[in-house]
């Protein structure tokens, strides 16, 4: 069974540009969550998508947005990049059925560097 995949694995952008990251969840998983990991702030929750709807949102500015498609694949977009957006972006997927063992599985991450 394939795990969570994220593309691209590495990105280098300059300030002011925008970027789109992609996440393919484990087959059958309905929920996709996104996290930002930095040395200073650790792992911080960005948002969660379930059945193509944003269900939960963290405390990030509106420059961070996302969406989920009917096949549960998700994209995350960051506009007007800032130096502080340099981070490892991780996505996680889970089944999210009532009564299920809703374990979260993480992808390998996308390393974004903003110059």
Partner 1 sequence: KQEVTQIPAALSVPEGENLVLNCSFTDSAIYNLQWFRQDPGKGLTSLLLIQSSQREQTSGRLNASLDKSSGRSTLYIAASQPGDSATYLCAVRPRNFNKFYFGSGTKLNVKP
Least distance CB 23 / partner 1 (angstroms): 11
Site for partner 1 (CB under 8 A): how many residues?
A: 28
Stretch that binds partner 1, among 12-20, 60-68, 72-80, 96-104 (CB under 8 A): 96-104
96 touches partner 1 (CB under 8 A): yes
Nearer to partner 1, 79 or 105 (CB): 105
d(CA 94, CA 99): 13
The only residue of 85, 107, 112, 114 in contact with partner 1, by rule CB under 8 A: 107
25 interacts with partner 1 by CB under 8 A: no
Of 97, 100, 110, 114, nearest in space to 35 by CA:
110
- Using rule CB under 8 A, residue 33 touches partner 1: yes
101 makes contact with partner 1 (CB under 8 A): yes
Residues 6+ apart with CB under 8 A from 106: 4, 90, 91, 92
* Contact indicator for 75, 23 with CB cutoff of 8 Å: yes
Round to whole Å and give the CA distance between 18 and 28: 30
Q: What does the binding site for partner 1 look like in residue numbers (CB under 8 A)?
A: 4, 6, 31, 33, 35, 42-43, 45, 48, 50, 55-56, 58, 88, 90, 92, 94, 96, 101-109, 111
């Amino acid at each position: 069974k394939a795990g969570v995949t994220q593309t691209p694995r590495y990105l280098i952008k300059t300030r002011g540009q925008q970027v789109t990251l992609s996440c393919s969840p484990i087959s059958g998983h309905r929920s996709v969550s996104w996290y930002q990991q930095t040395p200073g702030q650790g792992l911080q929750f960005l948002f969660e998508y379930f059945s193509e709807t944003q269900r939960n949102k963290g405390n990030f500015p509106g420059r961070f947005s996302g969406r989920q498609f009917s096949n549960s694949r998700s994209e995350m977009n960051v506009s007007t990049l800032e130096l502080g957006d340099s981070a490892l972006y991780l996505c996680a997927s889970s089944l999210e059925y009532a009564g299920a063992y809703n374990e979260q599985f993480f992808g390998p991450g996308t390393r974004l560097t903003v110059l």
